[in-house]
Structure 1
Amino acid sequence: MNEAIAALEAEGWSHIPLDTFSATIDPVFTRGEPGVSREVAVKTNPGMANNRADTVHGGAMMTFADIALGIGAVDAAGGPYCATVQLNYHFVRSVRVGQLVICRPQAVRRTSRLVFMRGLFEVDGEAAGSADGIFQYFSGPALRAD
């Protein structure tokens, strides 16, 4: 996997180290200017496989959608934190393990507390899925669940 990371970094992608649950789909990358031309990508790997070992599990794609749109929401809100309020993912086609999935998150609207996001998820320039989500942004280190 280090070779894949090095190859993508040579193409201008920056690896984002993930922790906790998000790390289950590492490695994730970004490139471009935050809030303007930001792209987010995931290099799919065997740990993301479905029961059929050659395709990526839908839950992994939804996790990536949450991360990609969340990065866009933080960009739109000026950071530093956001929490997912709602996320919808629409599967268009399967993704094979080893493929690079790219999303260009787009802020649709920002209110005083929420950012409405959408994104198209592509593999080799072809749509693999689409998502829309609502994110609450805040400045503190954690949002309580009560």
Structure 2
Amino acid sequence: MEIKLTDQLDQIYQDARTIRHHVFVEEQGIAETDEFDGTDSDAIHFVGYVNGEPVVTARTTVTKKGVHIQRVATEKAARHQAYAKQLLEYLLDQPMFEDAPMFYLGAQKTAIGFYQTLGFEKYGEPFEEVGIPHVNMRRTHSAADHHDR
């Protein structure tokens, strides 16, 4: 799989939008205005391509807390082939993030186990966003070092 990233609203970003529209708007029924909330221009978008086709995406923003990972999505036909895991491992290993105190995200409840395989742990109280149960998860760099051993 080839992974590309962008902080511009270019073709890579358009590919990310397409995946997110398919997964979050069409499949999960999230309102387009909630999914595309006007903050994409502040993010770095990662897209994984298989045979030139965009199949998986995620976006990140750097905050005071660390690197916020959002909008992780895999096209239905490409699921269960470890593309999201490959994309996130690539993202977590980016030199531009090496000084961040942690990576954090709001995981849909159905994805908690997936994020745990990448060294994330739950914290705080569960919450609901766009009608879907979520839980906050984080991974510190020390946890990442421990996880890789």
What TM-score, normalized by structure 2, do the two folds share?
Answer: 0.38
What TM-score, normalized by structure 1, do the two folds share?
Answer: 0.38
Larger relative contact order (C-alpha < 8 A, sep ≥ 6)?
Answer: 1
